[in-house]
Structure 1
Amino acid sequence: MKLELTDVINVAIMNDPWLRQSVQVQGALLEESVAEGTLPDPRLTLGAANLPTDTFDTGQEAMTQATIGFAQRFPRGDSRQLASAKTKQMAGMQPFLRENRRVRVMETVTHLWLEVWRSQQSIQLIEDNRGLFEQLADVAEAGYTSASMGARQQDIIRASLELTRLQDRLTALHSQLASSRESLGEWIGPNQARLAVTDDVPPQLLRGLPLDWAETRVDALTRHPSIRATDQLIDVQAIDVDLAHQAYRPEWSVFAQYGYRDRAPNGQDRADLFSVGIGFDLPIFTGNRQDRKLNAAAARLEAAKTERTLQIRGLQARARAAVARIERLDERIKLYEQTLLPQMEQQASAALTAYNNDDGDFAEAVRARIAELNASVELTQMVAERGKNLASFRYLTTDSSETPSFSLTQYQD
């Protein structure tokens, strides 16, 4: 069984705890939005008023009462509705953050898969060519022993040295492969990461760029999920400005109190008492409180708008840089596949034939084989690098114009 890239991406996304955490955060914010829009709890008071301190007799004085009171506070202006709307907007950020996380995980896991593929293919190339170098060593040793090909002792040493270098390269590549698998294991689990990846790069990473990539303008990048999340944040900051305006309005409260009076000492009934009233504060001295908070909220709103502009510029620059790298890599890959590698193979075959015919230098034959092997390994690296850049380009140009496909229950246990 070999690891397909699509399977790796699906497993990484479904096992990502961040996505489940985001769902929990969104659910918590939606619950809080309901609480934010609710009136504060009323206050109930119980007490005794006007007790005589000489006897504490409740029937001695006419003013003595047992009281029960009720008070209700009404927050300033539309602050309740605005606070509820703010929390809902914050909850609305989470679907776009999850969408951004999903495509970011796709990019990251693709990079790691390609690193495993690059190391695996490079190891395979060296293993396949080791036999050729061993054959060269045998030819040099046979020629030196028989003295029929003009072989020298240094040819035998050179062949042994190159085999040692190949072993060193294999050791380094196995180390890189193990490191890449450990990194991939963070996303799909260590057991799955130990499996070999497929021998071929998925076709979607070899496709050309979209014809309209050059039209990656600002209006297109505004649909990126990270930008949509920032748009939600801007809406939150705008509500903060509205909330700061509400601080200039008074906060109201109403209260009612019932006072029970005991009978007079002579047995005469006394009327119970009832009090009612309203209260409000006076936001008069606003210079160092309301004005300052309003200015701060307005500054945060402008800062969020600036951050959005910087995000778009960053996405655009990185997308264009990725395209430039892909175009250059495509040119180099084409050159290697169509011209350079065939020529190197011809050169290596010619050098080996000349040496076998006692008409060439052993060192030249070895250098030609090494150059051919290095070119093959470099081509593998370029293909992997090309796939990485295409994965990054796809992340940077993700279109989240539709509603993100992440419900509150999709990632819940």
Structure 2
Amino acid sequence: MSYYFLTNNPLRHVNATCRISVLLCLFSLFFLYANSAKGQTLSLEQAFQLAIQHDPVLEGNVHREHGFEAQAEAALSWANPQMSVSVQNLPTDGFALDQEPMTQFKVGLKQQLPRGDENRYNQQKYQVMADKMSVENQARKAWLKREITLAWLNWFYSTRRIALLDKEKALLSQLLDFTSSKYSKGVGTTAQQDVLQVRLALLTLDDKYVQAYQRQNEAKAAFSRWYGAPLDESFTAPSSMELNAILQSSDVSLASFVAAVESSEPFSVLQHHPEALLLQFQTQIETQNLKIAREQTKSQWAFEASYGYRQDEPNGMSRADFVSLGVQVDLPFFTQSRQDATIAAAAAKKSASETDFRLKVNELAANADVLKTRLLGLSERKALFDTELISEIEQLSEAELTAYTNDTGDISDVVNANLKLVQIQDDVLKIDVERAKTLADLVYLYLPSHAFNSNKE
């Protein structure tokens, strides 16, 4: 419990009425900074929803998915048939259509067939690319929630930090009044450097204020990165930490989530993380590209048909029309070195994608181990503060206050004890925020993993 002091009387011999007034002021000022500013508090869940609603990447992925699905449908179609119209063997000495028997008006059609199963593999490739977009959205949403959580926690910390600085300033101001009064009246051994030290502490506190307000403004401005505009001024900073909201799920409690994370094997679970799944989809795409490259070694066929119309002879004798049928095939056997190189390149890309998947899983698992170790250390520090340090400093503060009220202590000792309590509260705040950030990183790693969710069910 923190206490604030209004008295500036350096003398110990005060009457009972003054001491009672001091105690009443102590307890009343304890609630002085508890009142939050009016306005709508931006909850963590609201921040999530606003970010998802305004994220252009998610909207763009929907259009990309539709585009790939359309390409998959179009990939099965054959190439457009070709039509040709010509006048052949026209004599140059008169340009008459009925002069020579070889002159004809010819209309032809040509249809080129796909090369092997190239169209089917292209269709499968585009379908995989469309399916990849849904996983891309899952990864984007998980990433957005983590980034929003970190920004929200920075805003929360800077706001609570300012409140603690207000408490510290009130205590230092009372200590300055007390020290200045005691020095001016020549009471005790108070020297001028004591007054200067307190003033220097207040000046240092002003610098802390500047930094805290700068961090608060930066944290609030960071939301514009996802909202496309500065955060509405009607929103105020959060007054409490929402650990359950960080879990992004009402079905999983904080204790059960932490227990499940500690007992899980990250290398198997994180294979199903969206970041890893995206690389698996990329491997499937490269597999289709390899199949397409192999199809390029097959011949491509084309069929054509034409009809040649001839005019009758000048004497009226009829001339027969012509019908032509043909087959075309390319011969890829003379470019074997180029085709082998193309297949080798596609196979190498597929192998590289498989390697990227393993590296990504290793990276995610290593991050998970680091975060679990960090969370354990922060929890131990939190327990130390809760069970020992805070209670000890509160007992010291109570003892100094009791000694002062019984005329056996000095008010400067009481103020210094409460300053230590404020510093302890600042340390606890840092630990709480760091634990929440670590939890947000673990949620990003584990909750989007399908295997982890199925195990929890």
- How far 1:400 moved relative to its partner? 4.4
**Aligned runs of 1:153-172 on 2, under 5 Å?**
153-172=192-211
Deviates more, 1:343-352 or 1:165-174: 343-352
Which of 201, 210, 235 in structure 1 is aligned with 2:258?
A: 210
Q: For residue 227 of structure 1, what is the aligned residue in structure 2?
A: 276
**Aligned runs of 1:11-410 on 2, under 5 Å?**
11-188=50-227, 189-192=229-232, 195-204=235-244, 207-208=254-255, 209-213=257-261, 214-347=263-396, 369-401=418-450
Q: Deviations over 1:126-150 (max 9, x none)?
A: 1123211111111112212222343
Q: Which runs of 5+ in 2 are unaligned?
A: 1-39, 248-253
Q: Take 1:306 and 1:344, find their aligned partners in 2: how far apart are those partners?
A: 55
- How far 1:191 moved relative to its partner? 3.2
Q: Deviations over 1:354-387 (max 9, x none)?
A: 899797796x777655543333222211111111
Q: Take 1:160 and 1:401, find their aligned partners in 2: how far apart are those partners?
A: 58
Checking the alignment, whether the CA contact within 8 Å between 1:224 and 1:400 is kept in structure 2 is yes
Checking the alignment, whether the CA contact within 8 Å between 1:181 and 1:194 is kept in structure 2 is no
- How far 1:116 moved relative to its partner? 0.3
Q: Take 1:193 and 1:335, find their aligned partners in 2: how far apart are those partners?
A: 39
TM-score (norm 2): 0.82
Deviates more, 1:1-10 or 1:217-226: 217-226
Q: Take 2:295 and 2:387, find their aligned partners in 1: how far apart are those partners?
A: 71
SS of 2:450's equivalent in the other structure is: coil
Checking the alignment, whether the CA contact within 8 Å between 2:139 and 2:275 is kept in structure 1 is yes
- How far 1:223 moved relative to its partner? 1.6
SS of 2:208's equivalent in the other structure is: helix
Q: Take 2:440 and 2:233, find their aligned partners in 1: how far apart are those partners?
A: 20
Checking the alignment, whether the CA contact within 8 Å between 2:302 and 2:328 is kept in structure 1 is yes
Deviates more, 1:188-197 or 1:233-242: 188-197
Counterpart amino acid of residue 260 in structure 2: D
CA distance 1:146–1:350, change in 2 (3 Å): farther
Checking the alignment, whether the CA contact within 8 Å between 1:62 and 1:261 is kept in structure 2 is yes
Task: Tell me the matched-pair count.
Answer: 402
Checking the alignment, whether the CA contact within 8 Å between 1:117 and 1:197 is kept in structure 2 is yes
- How far 1:342 moved relative to its partner? 3.0
Counterpart amino acid of residue 199 in structure 1: S
Q: Take 2:379 and 2:233, find their aligned partners in 1: how far apart are those partners?
A: 29
Checking the alignment, whether the CA contact within 8 Å between 1:185 and 1:192 is kept in structure 2 is no
Q: Deviations over 1:273-304 (max 9, x none)?
A: 11011111112124322111111111111111
Counterpart amino acid of residue 241 in structure 2: V
SS of 1:331's equivalent in the other structure is: helix
Q: Take 1:27 and 1:193, find their aligned partners in 2: how far apart are those partners?
A: 37
Q: Take 2:226 and 2:104, find their aligned partners in 1: how far apart are those partners?
A: 71
- How far 1:218 moved relative to its partner? 2.6
The share of aligned pairs that are identical, in percent, is 28
Q: Take 1:186 and 1:217, find their aligned partners in 2: how far apart are those partners?
A: 31
Q: Deviations over 1:314-342 (max 9, x none)?
A: 11111111111111011111212222233
Checking the alignment, whether the CA contact within 8 Å between 1:261 and 1:270 is kept in structure 2 is yes
CA distance 1:345–1:153, change in 2 (3 Å): farther
Deviates more, 1:278-287 or 1:37-46: 278-287
Checking the alignment, whether the CA contact within 8 Å between 1:74 and 1:252 is kept in structure 2 is yes
Q: Take 2:345 and 2:416, find their aligned partners in 1: how far apart are those partners?
A: 69
- How far 1:172 moved relative to its partner? 0.8
SS of 1:59's equivalent in the other structure is: coil
Counterpart amino acid of residue 33 in structure 1: A
Q: Deviations over 1:237-293 (max 9, x none)?
A: 111111112112110100011111111122211111110111111121243221111
CA distance 1:284–1:89, change in 2 (3 Å): same
- How far 1:346 moved relative to its partner? 4.2
Checking the alignment, whether the CA contact within 8 Å between 1:181 and 1:193 is kept in structure 2 is no
Deviates more, 1:149-158 or 1:271-280: 149-158
SS of 1:210's equivalent in the other structure is: helix
- How far 1:57 moved relative to its partner? 1.4
- How far 1:229 moved relative to its partner? 2.0
Q: Deviations over 1:66-118 (max 9, x none)?
A: 11110000011111111111111111100001001001100000000000001
Q: Deviations over 1:183-227 (max 9, x none)?
A: 123224423377323211113259345323232343321221222
Q: Which runs of 5+ in 1 are unaligned?
A: 405-413
Checking the alignment, whether the CA contact within 8 Å between 1:221 and 1:399 is kept in structure 2 is no
Counterpart amino acid of residue 68 in structure 1: V
